[in-house]
Structure 1
Amino acid sequence: MWDNLGFALALVLIAEGLLPFLSPRLWRSTFERMIALENGQLRFIGFISLLAGVLLLLVF
């Protein structure tokens, strides 16, 4: 189980690091737009991300 958790964490870090590495200007612009969102909008985005992750876990 700990091996899988480490593998999952590594994949998250790789995915999170790709955009700032490949296109820092786009990443900065996206981050600035996210800061301007309301709390409800951010919660909705977070909920959709959680739901997508749970669905992926169920599929695989």
Structure 2
Amino acid sequence: MIELLSALGLAIALEGALYAAFPGAMRRALLSVSVQPEQALRIGGLIALALGVVIVWLVRG
């Protein structure tokens, strides 16, 4: 549970750093995502999920 919460905290910190460093780019990215079809978002989410699992598997392996 500690590792899960640590990973969640790290993800939130990284996202916050992106918003702090590049607020305009993040706003444009969010606007771009809002007009994408749901199927494209779903595929992107599945790819990100798979990539995350592979990274964790390689690191923790």
> Fold conserved (TM > 0.5)?
yes
Structural RMSD (CA): 0.8
Aligned sequence identity (%): 27
Q: Does 1:37 align with 2:45?
A: no
Q: What secondary structure is seen at the aligned counterpart in 2 of 1:37?
A: coil
Q: Could you tell me how far 1:6 is from its partner in structure 2? A: 1.5
**TM-score of the two chains, using structure 2 as the length reference:** 0.89
Gaps of 5+ in 2: none
Query: How many residues align structurally?
Result: 59
**TM-score of the two chains, using structure 1 as the length reference:** 0.91
Measure the CA separation in 1 of the matches of 2:15 and 2:22.
Answer: 12
- Paired amino acid for 1:27: M
- Segments of 4+ in structure 1 off by > 3 A? none
